[in-house]
């Protein structure tokens, strides 16, 4: 298992971005979480296989129908801690 930490910048708050991210993560069987940050970005931590996470990152770069993704910063790592599901943190 691997972990991806991603910071997404652009028009990603107030456009259902987190909801779509959660749906895609659940579809792929990933665990982790997504949250809005005070600077207007969205932060994601997710655990899964390299293949699942690569698919997830492709989706994140597109975003939800109302979003506009300008930049995605990704950091890969080895999964240290994993949750059983993918959640939205408020």
Q: Which residues are catalytic?
A: 18, 36
- Tokens 């982790």 label which residue? 32
> What are the backbone angles phi and psi of residue 33, rounded to the nearest 5°?
-160, 165
**Strand positions, DSSP E, 1-90:** 2-11, 31-36, 42-48, 68-78, 86-89
Contact (Cβ atoms closer than 8 angstroms) between residue 3 and residue 57: no
Distances in whole angstroms, Cα of residue 40 to Cα of each of 13, 15, 60, 88:
6, 12, 16, 16
């Amino acid at each position: 298992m691997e972990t991806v930490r991603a910071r997404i910048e652009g028009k990603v708050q107030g456009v259902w971005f987190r909801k779509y991210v959660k749906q895609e993560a659940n579809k792929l069987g990933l665990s982790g979480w997504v949250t809005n940050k005070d600077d207007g970005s969205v932060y994601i931590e997710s655990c899964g296989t390299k293949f699942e996470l690569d698919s997830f990152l492709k989706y994140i770069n597109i975003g939800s129908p109302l979003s506009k993704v300008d930049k995605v910063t990704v950091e890969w790592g080895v999964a240290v801690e994993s949750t059983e599901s993918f959640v939205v943190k408020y």
